[in-house]
């Protein structure tokens, strides 16, 4: 206990106390106890929840739905791509290490810098993506500045962030691959198993614990995403790419409303915890 | 003896190395910051007080400082911020009444409960659309005298080879778009309507405001580029990809040849937006007296004359006149002299509305058909509607 004491004290001061304080504030307003009012107001606010436009009209769909769209696109692509790249690089010649380093660069790049890169990657005049699409004859807004248009801003952020995060998934899967006994693959080859069969029946099942960890951490990253969006679009245009953490920031530091900001923080936690629990505990047991 | 001398020299050198600089935090960087850095250098030469300048946008100051204030700390000794924000946090700032006493300000200091907490530092105006005289002369273009002329000018510019759109639209967090919108509102709605919008007495969805957007701003947007990062837009406009560019007068300090600059307001305009950058000294500064000295120098006749002579800003003192300005600023001062100066709308309202205004205009620029939604949201989020 003596050894645990300092750590527990720091944990209490910097994690537990602020979390409890935030929870407390989310049920308050400037006049005192407000019950669930802050949460009801969040779901009445189209900046947070605007399902009437989803999916038939262009964004904004509300920050909560934007986060969920982020999860639906970004999670399978980064986890899946990371797994495939890990397998490909494990079998590729040594010089391919350069490509692996380039991919890993995304994860060591500060996200603020990543946001700037994404912004310029999709910029109308200097961005490579609009330039390529323009050369192929693709119409606006796809061949124009993606961050300027509501149709493309959210998707541009999500696609751009795949490079920033896929290195994480690739490295963890690479570490997992190195722990699989090579004899399993040799036995499969002797039995005539194809490359695909080896991947599907040996690699994927044995990497499952790693994949779940990657998926859980990626999910949390997506639900608290802030810096990339702040730098690249500030949630715009017209809230078309806003996310929960950004709305929390605007409530806290622009509207100077700590109660609404705390309610959004609590909402992020409420969304994250069950999903994280489901992934981490139930899937692992299964 | 020689040994003692060496020790003495070493000690002086060490103390100079350890001398803590006065930290000034302001929003300007690159070419925009250079004129201000020259003033800080003059202060150091005069007083011997070293000054370190750090760049932080007003948006970031609004984010970082509240938590610092709560802890009784400050990252800077003299800081530039938004007026509305300084009022909100006035309790954390030093009373500067003695420094501003007797100064003939053109723009008023921020006074809260009898204390001067925000002091204006030079002024800027957003006079209208800038053009290169050489570009206009080469293509036989002239500043418009009425709305039809203005639209014809835009159409003619777009026929020039190499021009992408007639007007460049600067972007960043969104303020260049709001500047342009405010200019349209002032020109076609007048000062009363403009002030009514600021105070929340006039609704954005009202027919008269909607008409300004529908009849003037939206037709103009057909000739404007999509929002481009504002310094990049400046370069592209200067290189001839666009013919005109709406910007504040600080543009004169950011181009290669300010004498090639011309500017015109929208035809019929009787008022333009003008304003100032406010300075404050946090009461948690450990160098309050030095910060006071610097502030006093910055707002002195000498300090202001030095700053305005570098271009990009106008004087906020009535007793520092156009004779101190470089030619481009002197011409500008003469041009806007007959116009009424209106406060910057989004800086005055501030808070989350300011951010929403910028964001909604970014949407309007690429989706003019979203006009109704944009006006509705601006009404919904106005502090007057929230009570």
Find where tokens 């800080």 sit.
Answer: B40
Q: pLDDT of B118-147, one tens digit each?
A: 999 988 899 999 999 999 999 999 999 999
* A248 → chain B, closest CA residue: B352
Give the pairing of strands B271-280 and B78-81.
antiparallel
Is the pLDDT reported for residue B109 higher than 80? yes
Look at A238 and B374 and tell me if their CB atoms are within 8 Å.
Answer: yes
Confirm or reject contact between A250 and chain B (CB < 8 A). Answer: yes
- Which CATH number belongs to the domain containing residue A134 in this structure? 1.10.3720.10
User: Rounded mean pLDDT of A125-139?
Assistant: 92
Q: What percent of chain B has pLDDT over 90?
A: 68
A210–chain B nearest CA distance, Å: 38
Look at A124 and B171 and tell me if their CB atoms are within 8 Å.
Answer: no
Q: pLDDT of A154-192, one tens digit each?
A: 999 999 999 899 999 999 999 999 899 999 999 999 999
Count how many pairs of residues, chain A against chain B, have C-beta atoms within 8 Å.
72
Does residue A251 belong to any structural domain of this protein? yes
Domain that holds residue A84: 36-285
Distance of CA B169 to the CA centre of its chain: 16
Does residue A277 belong to any structural domain of this protein? yes
Q: How far apart are CA B387 and CA B384, in angstroms?
A: 5
Q: How far apart are CA A155 and CA A133, in angstroms?
A: 15
B358 CB neighbours in chain A (<8 A) are: 234, 236
A123 CB neighbours in chain B (<8 A) are: 228-229
pTM of the model: 0.86
A141–chain B nearest CA distance, Å: 9
Whether ipTM tops 0.85, in short, is yes
Task: Count how many residues are written for chain B.
Answer: 387
> Encoding tokens for residue B225?
């580029």
Lowest mean pLDDT among A155-159, A214-218, B7-11, B13-17: B13-17
The helix/strand/coil state of A220 is helix
Task: Report the pLDDT value the prediction gives residue B380, as an integer from 0 to 100.
Answer: 93
* B173 → chain A, closest CA residue: A234
Look at B366 and A148 and tell me if their CB atoms are within 8 Å.
Answer: yes
Instruction: Identify the CA nearest to B99 among candidates B273, B236, B281.
Output: B281
Query: Which is higher by pLDDT, B122 or A226?
Result: A226
User: Please, are residues A109 and A168 in contact by the beta-carbon 8 Å criterion?
Assistant: no
Q: pLDDT of B220-271, one tens digit each?
A: 999 999 999 898 999 999 999 999 999 998 888 888 898 899 999 999 999 9
Does residue A86 belong to any structural domain of this protein? yes
B88 CB neighbours in chain A (<8 A) are: 256
Using the 8-state DSSP alphabet, how is residue B203 labeled?
-
Q: How far apart are CA B146 and CA B138, in angstroms?
A: 22
A154–chain B nearest CA distance, Å: 14
* A153 → chain B, closest CA residue: B363
B61–chain A nearest CA distance, Å: 10
Is the pLDDT reported for residue B55 higher than 80? yes
Task: List domains and CATH numbers for chain B.
Answer: 16-125+275-335 (3.40.190.10), 128-247+350-386 (3.40.190.10)
Substitution target in B66, B352, B354, B375 with the highest count of A β-carbons within 10 Å is: B352
Confirm or reject contact between A134 and chain B (CB < 8 A). Answer: no
Task: Report the pLDDT value the prediction gives residue B17, as an integer from 0 to 100.
Answer: 45
Task: Report the pLDDT value the prediction gives residue A76, as an integer from 0 to 100.
Answer: 95
Look at B63 and A249 and tell me if their CB atoms are within 8 Å.
Answer: yes
Q: How confident is the model at residue A134 (pLDDT cuts 50, 70, 90)?
A: very high
Measured CA to CA in angstroms, residue A214 lies from A91, A242, B126, B318 at distances of 22, 25, 51, 64
Does residue A184 belong to any structural domain of this protein? yes
Task: Report the pLDDT value the prediction gives residue B6, as an integer from 0 to 100.
Answer: 52
Q: How far apart are CA B173 and CA B229, in angstroms?
A: 9
Does residue A89 belong to any structural domain of this protein? yes
Among candidates B232, B236, B352 on the partner chain, residue whose Cβ is nearest the Cβ of A250: B352
A14–chain B nearest CA distance, Å: 15
B114–chain A nearest CA distance, Å: 24
Task: Report the pLDDT value the prediction gives residue A46, as an integer from 0 to 100.
Answer: 92
Q: pLDDT of B347-364, one tens digit each?
A: 889 888 999 999 999 999
A229–chain B nearest CA distance, Å: 12
A249 CB neighbours in chain B (<8 A) are: 63
Find where tokens 């996310």 sit.
Answer: A243
Does residue A193 belong to any structural domain of this protein? yes
**What is the count of structural domains for chain A?**
1
Q: Up-side HSE of residue B270: CA atoms within 13 Å toward CB? A: 6
Look at B359 and A234 and tell me if their CB atoms are within 8 Å.
Answer: yes
Look at B173 and A234 and tell me if their CB atoms are within 8 Å.
Answer: yes
Cis geometry, peptide bond prior to residue A237 (ω within 30 degrees of 0): yes
Look at A237 and B359 and tell me if their CB atoms are within 8 Å.
Answer: yes
Does residue A11 belong to any structural domain of this protein? no
Is the pLDDT reported for residue B18 higher than 50? no
């Amino acid at each position: 206990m003596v050894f645990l004491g300092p750590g527990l004290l720091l944990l209490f001061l910097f994690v537990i106390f602020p979390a409890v304080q935030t929870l407390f504030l989310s049920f308050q307003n400037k006049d005192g106890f407000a019950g669930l009012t802050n949460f009801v107001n969040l779901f009445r606010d189209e900046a947070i929840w605007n399902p009437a436009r989803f999916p038939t009209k262009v964004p904004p769909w509300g920050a909560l739905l934007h986060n969920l769209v982020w999860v639906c696109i970004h999670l399978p692509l980064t986890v899946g791509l990371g797994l495939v790249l890990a397998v490909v690089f494990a079998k590729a010649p040594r010089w391919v290490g350069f490509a692996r380093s380039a991919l890993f660069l995304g994860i060591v790049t500060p996200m603020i810098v990543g946001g700037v890169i994404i912004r310029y990657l999709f910029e109308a005049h200097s961005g490579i993506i609009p330039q390529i699409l323009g050369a192929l004859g693709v119409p606006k807004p796809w061949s124009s500045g993606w961050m300027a248009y509501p149709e493309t801003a959210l998707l541009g952020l999500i696609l751009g962030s795949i490079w920033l995060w896929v290195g994480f998934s690739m490295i963890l899967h690479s570490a997992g691959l190195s722990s699989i006994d090579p004899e399993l693959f040799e036995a499969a080859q002797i039995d005539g198993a194809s490359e695909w069969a080896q991947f599907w029946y040996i690699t994927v099942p044995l990497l499952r614990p790693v994949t779940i960890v990657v998926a859980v951490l990626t999910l949390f990253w997506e639900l608290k995403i802030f810096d990339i969006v702040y730098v690249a679009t500030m949630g715009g245009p017209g809230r078309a790419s806003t996310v929960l953490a950004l709305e929390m920031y605007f409530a806290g530091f622009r509207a100077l409303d700590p109660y609404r900001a705390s309610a959004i923080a609590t909402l992020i936690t409420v969304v994250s915890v069950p999903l994280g629990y489901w992934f981490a505990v139930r899937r692992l047991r299964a | 003896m020689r040994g003692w001398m060496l020790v003495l020299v070493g000690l002086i050198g060490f103390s100079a190395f350890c001398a803590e600089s006065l930290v000034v935090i302001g929003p300007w960087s690159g070419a925009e910051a250079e004129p201000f850095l020259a003033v800080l250098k003059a202060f150091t030469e005069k007083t011997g007080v070293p000054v370190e300048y750090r760049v932080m946008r007003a948006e970031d100051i609004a984010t970082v400082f509240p938590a610092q204030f709560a802890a009784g700390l400050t990252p800077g000794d003299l800081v530039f911020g938004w007026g509305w924000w300084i009022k909100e946090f006035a309790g954390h700032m030093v009373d500067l009444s003695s420094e501003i006493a007797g100064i003939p300000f053109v723009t008023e200091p921020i006074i809260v409960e009898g204390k001067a907490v925000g002091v204006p530092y030079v002024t800027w105006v957003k006079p209208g659309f800038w053009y290169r005289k050489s570009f206009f002369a080469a293509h036989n273009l002239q500043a418009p005298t009425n709305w039809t002329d203005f639209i014809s000018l835009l159409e003619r510019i777009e026929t020039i080879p190499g021009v992408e759109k007639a007007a460049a639209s600067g972007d960043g967090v969104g303020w260049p778009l709001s500047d342009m919108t405010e200019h349209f509102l002032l020109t076609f709605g007048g000062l009363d309507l403009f002030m009514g919008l600021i105070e929340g007495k006039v609704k954005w969805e009202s027919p008269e405001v909607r008409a300004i957007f529908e009849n003037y701003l939206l037709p103009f947007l057909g000739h404007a580029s999509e929002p481009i990062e504002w310094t990049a837009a400046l370069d592209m406009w200067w290189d001839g990809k666009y013919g005109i560019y709406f910007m504040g007068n600080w543009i004169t300090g950011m181009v290669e040849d300010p004498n090639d600059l011309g500017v015109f307001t929208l035809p019929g305009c009787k008022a333009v937006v003008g304003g100032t950058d406010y300075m404050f000294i946090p009461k948690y500064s450990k160098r309050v007296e030095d910060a006071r000295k610097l502030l006093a120098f910055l707002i002195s006749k000498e300090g202001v004359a030095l700053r305005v002579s570098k271009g990009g800003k106008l004087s906020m003192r009535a007793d520092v006149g156009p004779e101190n300005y470089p030619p481009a600023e002197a011409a500008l001062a003469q041009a806007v002299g007959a116009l009424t100066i209106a406060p910057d709308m989004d800086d005055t309202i501030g808070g989350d509305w300011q951010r929403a205004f910028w964001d909604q205009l970014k949407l309007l620029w690429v989706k003019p058909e979203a006009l109704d939604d944009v006006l509705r949201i601006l009404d919904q989020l106005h502090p007057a509607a929230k009570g």
